[in-house]
Structures are given as C-alpha cells and as structure tokens.
C-alpha cells in the first residue's frame, strides 16, 4: 500500500500489458515460481478491489499534508472505513515512522519527530471518531530498542526498552502503566550508561492487546511464549467488553 492506495504494477498499463501479465502470472511446476505467480495474481486482483473500495470512503478530518506518518494513517483510516465493502471483520495495519536513532542531534530532532507523531496520531483518532469506530480501533507503538540516558555529546546510544503509546476509545487512557524510571545513570533500574531495565515486558503489552483483539487466555501463550513468567499478563489498559 502507498498513502494513496494499493500499488498497481505499472507494466500492466503499457502496450505489452498482455504479455507482461502472461509472464508474471503463468503457472509453473517449480514450487517457488508457482508461489510467486500466485502472490502476483492475488496482488493484481486485490489492487483493483481495494482501490475501488477506498474510493467510496471520504474523510473530512484534516491530516497534516507534509507528515509522512499522517499520510500512512490516512489511508489506514480509509481502509477501516471500507471494511464492509471488503468483507472484513478484523484488520491489522503496520505503518512505519523512523529517524529516531539519535546518536547525534537528539535535542533538535527528537522534539520535531514527537510533534509529527502527535499530530498524526491525533488526526487518526479523530478520523476513527468520524467513522464511528473509535471504540473498535486501537493504535499502539512498537520499537526494537530505546535510547540510553548517558550523553555521547550530541545524542545517546542504543538502550533497552522504552515508553510506548496506546491510543483509542477502548483504552483506559490518560494513565501511565508500569513504574516510571529514574532519570539517572547511577540508579538500580539502569544497567550501565543509563540503559534502562524495564519494569514491564513487551509480552505483557502484547498479551493485553491480544485479549482485547479476541484471543482467549489459553491462546495467548502460543503467541507470547514468555508471558507465563509474569504474574499479571494483563496490564489493564484496555477497557472490558
């Protein structure tokens, strides 16, 4: 997907579109080639179906035009609005927002990025309200690492853990879940150079979201094998029902 919708294979619009289609979708006795052709056939079919569906979704909620995250979330909102046309009951979307690896220029770049994040997420939530699905849509952040608290002069290096945001009308919002860390490079909740030792696990975060999404308690360990190490896998940030 792109911010404007499903991506079409450009060669299918050229003068050799018939030949191109025959080549990229032909069946093969080779397992890998056949799998690739099957994915391509499905992509061609669904591109038209998806774009036709989202053309019927109009949003009055303004999204910041120069904000790359907002552009992604706008098409996500349109996809959510088209779920009935697409015959879908549950949808999962991934969007990306980078440039947080601040080994340098942290003080200048981080506030700018957080402003973009704030504006994009605010617009997305407003769009779910406009669509009447705010209590059925939950957005959350994920990352593979955080930053250390120790300065390297113009930024900081890789750290463990980080704060994450969860947003939606089904969220028990306006709260901080877990134990706030000390902003220090000397306390027991860091393991050197201000690398924070998290008090809350991603398994607990994932388990709480999984239960809201409809997974039973017995299914959660199959998704998050380490969740049994925690006495309270449900952090309570999702409303019941």
CA angle 76, 212, 203 (to 5 degrees): 95
pLDDT tens digits for range 222-231? 999 999 999 9
The reported pTM is 0.90
Q: Above pLDDT 90, what percent of the chain? A: 81
Rounded to an integer, what distance in angstroms lies between the CA atom of residue 17 and that of residue 39? 18
Q: What is the dihedral of CA 39, 93, 230, 165, to 10 degrees?
A: 150
pLDDT bracket for residue 241 (50, 70, 90): low
CA distances to 56, 67, 83, 129 from 90, rounded to whole Å, are 19, 27, 8, 18
Cβ-based neighbour number of residue 179 at 10 Å: 10
pLDDT bracket for residue 17 (50, 70, 90): confident
């Amino acid at each position: 997907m792109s911010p404007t919708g499903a991506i079409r294979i450009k060669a299918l619009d050229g003068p050799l579109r018939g030949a191109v289609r025959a080549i990229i979708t032909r069946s093969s006795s080779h397992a890998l080639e056949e799998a690739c052709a099957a994915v391509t056939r499905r992509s061609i079919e669904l591109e038209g179906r998806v774009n036709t569906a989202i053309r019927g979704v109009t949003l009055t909620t303004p999204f910041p035009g120069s904000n790359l995250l907002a552009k992604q979330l706008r098409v996500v909102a349109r996809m959510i609005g088209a779920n009935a046309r697409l015959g879908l009951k549950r949808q999962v979307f991934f969007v990306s927002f980078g440039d947080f690896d601040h080994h340098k220029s942290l003080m200048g770049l981080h506030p700018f990025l957080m402003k973009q994040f704030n504006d994009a997420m605010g617009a997305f939530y407003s769009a779910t309200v406009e669509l009447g699905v705010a209590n059925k849509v939950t957005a959350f952040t994920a990352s593979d690492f955080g930053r250390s608290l120790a300065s390297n002069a113009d930024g900081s290096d890789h750290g463990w853990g980080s704060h994450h945001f969860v947003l939606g009308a089904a969220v028990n919002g306006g709260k901080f879940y877990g134990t706030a860390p000390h902003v220090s490079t000397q306390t027991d909740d860091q393991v050197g150079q201000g690398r924070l030792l998290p008090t809350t696990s991603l398994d607990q975060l994932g388990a709480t979201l999984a239960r809201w999404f409809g997974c039973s308690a017995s299914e959660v360990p199959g998704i998050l094998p380490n969740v049994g190490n925690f006495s309270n896998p449900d952090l309570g940030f999702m409303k019941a029902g």
